[in-house]
A and B are shown apart, each in its own frame.
Chain A
Amino acid sequence: VSTAAPARVLVVEDDPHLAAGVTENLRAEGYEVSTAADGEQALAWLAAHSCALVVLDVMLPGVDGFAVCRTLRGRGDSTPVLFLTARGDPADRVHGLEAGGDDYLAKPFHLQEFLLRVRAILRRWDWYRSASATAATAVLSFGGNEVDFRAFRARTWSGETQELTEKEAMILKVLAEHSGEIVSREDLLERVWGYDVFPSTRTVDNFILRLRKRFERDPANPRHFLTVWGVGYRFLREGEP
């Protein structure tokens, strides 16, 4: 863990054995761990505390994991979420990520892989936070748009205020850090999602389309989010002449 104080993780799992096993292993890795046995407990805990990561079981009694995540995002809480679930089919995976999850692990899982994913999510967020830490890096202005990375909010060229999802903000951050350079789809996947969460790089394309819709005056003829055919994308702060 890169921060000085140990990162705190909330484990939401109704099976006592699994909860204990996950908790003990996270503690052994140096994390501080709190637990909740159902969705309502988790939401109550998160309303009063903050943490670096939520490990969230999907099939919880009562309010399920997806609903917990959606409620959390609805509150404007961007705490990263790692879903644990017994249903591992691709449709379910996409469902989880659409609910606002950062990663998704099917039960039964390998301990090492679980720990790796926890580290990867925390590392991504560490990078995002530190990359948005100063007044200069917290705000990005381009083409009349102004993006506030810390508040996940943007004011567009038309004067509209827009809420950004965590993934949109992260993609924008990666592109802004490499303004003028070509960033490949694979790099974007790696930096924003980690390794094998999504089945294809098409996901990145969809997110770029969304960003164009939000920030380009003419999304069909983009001036800031340019496609470099066969490679990836190039972001131009000043806009293409």
Chain B
Amino acid sequence: MKAARVFQLTALALLVVSVVQVGWWLLDQRAYTVEKVRLAREAYAQQTAAAQALLDSGASSARVQQLLPGIVVSSGRATLAPELERSLTTEEHRRYNQYAWEGSFFLLALAACIAVIARALREEARVHEEQDSFLALVAHQFKTPLASLQLSLETLALRAPAPQAARTLIDRMLADLARMELMVTQILESARLERGRVEFKSEPLQLAGAVARVLAQLEDRARQEHIAISSDIDPRLHVLSDPLALDVVVRNVLENALTAVQGAGGGTIALSARARDGEVELSVRDSGVGFAPTDGARLFEKFTRLPGAGGRYGTGLGLFIVRRLMELAQGRVSAHSDGVGRGASLRLTWQAAAVAAVAPQPAIAPEPRP
């Protein structure tokens, strides 16, 4: 990496030197031509003066023209032959034209090379910067659960709490560990997505089935947090996506909604889907903490935490991964909220798969939720 950079910088320096060289060459050639033309004109002027002197001393016109072929004599006056003057001017213009064309061509070619290398250098610097800030953010994200873990452990060691309080501390520590594990998974997932190193199959999948599978995993958590989830999805709706990606998208979106509702002390999540214009749209509405209406797009950026939003236990990567996976599925995702404390809705849109082409899938029927 370093050797390549040295090479690029050296090439850049050489190109800049070449630009200076070409510029200098152009100026030098121009000065040379000016000087040549001046000397030629001077020589012609001397010839004309000499011819005039011969004429004045009584030499015949024929004799003068024989001695000085570039001179024309008419009514006793010696002048330079017009074709000589013309050819001199023509030659002068031809040379200037040549310098202009050749010079511009070389300068343009050099400028193009400089632009290409500068662009590569800038791009490299940007990638470096992004990697650095990603690392800084990742490190920062880990420090909070680590601090919480350390605090719980040191509290246990310092205070020897009663069994009930100790249990609370242990649960807290387990949750912190789970959070760190989730972060590792999501960081790896997002890193792979960023580098485009994912095999993305696109096949018809039953949306209701994917939602039911994820709901079955989150059921306990929802019950504990007093969150009622309702799902109304036509089992005939099928989308084009990668099976793993579909599960990750639905899981991340639902976990996000759960956290948002948990932040509001409980509430509801409603899932519904419909087909429209060759697309299938899944809507996830929650009665959670919501966010400022202008923050809708920022939710899908890496490590976004919004004030009052449900990002408290999150890694800031869940919805970023959702966006990237939806892009790979050639779908869309958007979020909307009327404001902090007023719930939110997420809308996911996939390309619809023709139902007839779909092989029957074992779907877990969504159970009624509390």
Taking the complex as formed, is A202 at the interface, i.e. its CB lies under 8 A from any CB of chain B?
no
Residue from A59, A107, A109 whose CB has the most chain B CB atoms within 10 Å: A107
Tell me if B312 counts as interface (CB < 8 A to partner A): yes
B307 touches A61 (CB 8 A): yes
Known: A61-B305, A61-B306, A61-B311. A108 touches B158 (CB 8 A): no
Instruction: Confirm or deny: B175 has a beta carbon within 8 angstroms of a beta carbon on chain A.
Output: yes
Contact between B159 and A21 (Cβ–Cβ < 8 Å)? no
A-binding residues in B (CB < 8 A): 139-140, 143-152, 154-155, 158-159, 172, 175-176, 305-309, 311-313
Tell me whether B158 and A15 are in contact (CB under 8 A): no
Chain A residues with CB under 8 Å of B172's CB are 17, 20-21
| In the complex with contacts A61-B306, A87-B140, A24-B155 CB distance below 8 A | yes
A84–B144 alpha-carbon span in the complex (Å) = 10
Select which of B139, B143, B176, B308 is within 8 A of A17 by beta carbon.
Answer: B176
Give the interface centre of A28, A60, A111 by most chain B CB atoms within 10 Å: A111
Q: Which residues of A contact B154 (CB under 8 A)?
A: 110-112
With both beta carbons as reference points, the residue of chain A lying nearest to B159 in the complex is identified as: A28
Q: List 29 A-B contacts (CB under 8 A).
A: A14-B312, A15-B145, A15-B312, A16-B313, A17-B148, A17-B152, A21-B152, A25-B151, A25-B159, A37-B312, A38-B307, A59-B140, A61-B307, A61-B309, A62-B306, A62-B307, A62-B308, A63-B307, A86-B140, A87-B140, A107-B144, A107-B146, A107-B147, A108-B149, A109-B147, A109-B150, A110-B150, A111-B154, A112-B154
Closest chain-A Cβ to B263's Cβ sits at a distance in Å of 9
| Shortest Cβ distance from residue B304 to the other chain A in the assembled complex, whole angstroms | 9
In the complex, residue of chain B having the shortest beta-carbon distance to the beta carbon of A24: B155
Decide yes or no whether A22 CB sits under 8 A from chain B: yes
A residues in contact with B307, CB < 8 Å: 38-40, 60-63
Select B144's contact among A20, A61, A62, A86, beta carbons within 8 Å: A86
A15: B residues at CB distance < 8 A: 144-145, 148, 312
Could you say which of B140, B155, B311 contacts A21, with CB atoms under 8 Å apart?
A: B155
Residue pair B148, A21 in contact (C-beta under 8 Å) = yes
Q: In chain A, residues 10-42, which have Cβ atoms closer than 8 Å to a Cβ of chain B?
A: 14-18, 20-22, 24-25, 28, 37-40
Distance in angstroms between the alpha carbons of A86 and B150 in the assembled complex: 14
Task: Note all chain A residues with C-beta closer than 8 A to B306.
Answer: 61-62
- CA–CA, A61 and B314, complex, Å: 13
Min C-beta distance of B140 to chain A, whole Å: 5
Count A-side interface residues using an 8 Å CB cutoff.
29
List 17 additional A-B contacts (Cβ < 8 Å) besides A17-B148, A62-B306, A109-B150: A15-B312, A16-B312, A17-B145, A21-B155, A25-B159, A38-B307, A39-B307, A59-B140, A61-B306, A62-B307, A87-B140, A107-B147, A108-B146, A108-B147, A111-B150, A112-B154, A112-B158
Are B175 and A108 closer than 8 Å at their CB atoms? Answer: no
Q: What's the least CB distance linking B262 to chain A, in Å?
A: 10
A111-B140 CB under 8 A given contacts A40-B307, A61-B308, A62-B307:
no
B323 CB to closest chain A CB (Å) equals: 20
B144-A25 in contact (CB<8A): no
A interface, CB within 8 angstroms of B: 14-18, 20-22, 24-25, 28, 37-40, 59-63, 84, 86-87, 107-112
Distance of A37 Cα from B264 Cα, bound (Å): 13
The smallest beta-carbon distance between A213 and chain B, in angstroms, is 38
- Distance to closest chain B CB from A114 (angstroms): 8
On whether A18 and B158 interact (CB within 8 A), knowing A61-B306, A62-B307, A86-B140, the answer reads no
B331 to chain A, nearest CB (A): 28
Q: How far is the CA of A178 from the CA of B92 in the complex (A)?
A: 91
The 6 residue pairs across chains A and B that have the minimum distance between CB atoms: A62-B307, A108-B147, A107-B147, A86-B143, A111-B154, A21-B151
**Is A18 a contact of B155 with CB atoms below 8 Å?**
no
* B140 surroundings in chain A (CB, below 8 A): 59, 86-87
User: How near does chain A come to B292, taking the closest CB pair, in angstroms?
Assistant: 9
B147 and A18 contacting across the interface, CB-CB below 8 Å: yes
User: What residues of chain A lie closer than 8 Å to B175, measured between beta carbons?
Assistant: 17
Which chain B residues lie closer than 8 Å to A20 at the CB level?
172
Chain A contacts for B146, CB-based, 8 A: 107-108
Partner pick for A107 among B143, B155, B308, B312, CB 8 A cutoff: B143
Whole-angstrom distance between the Cβ of B107 and the nearest chain A Cβ:
44
Contact A111 B311 (CB under 8 A): no
> Which of A18, A24, A40, A59 meets B148, CB within 8 Å?
A18
The residue of chain B having its C-beta at the shortest distance from the C-beta of A115 within the complex is B158
Flag if A18 contacts B144 (CB, 8 Å).
yes
Least distance between A119 CB and chain B CB atoms (Å) = 15
Report the Cα distance A171→B175, complex, angstroms. 45
Chain B residues, Cβ within 8 Å of A86: 139-140, 143-144, 147
A111 touches B155 (CB 8 A): yes
Cα A69 to Cα B275 in complex, Å, equals 51
Q: In chain B, what residue has the closest Cβ to A88?
A: B143
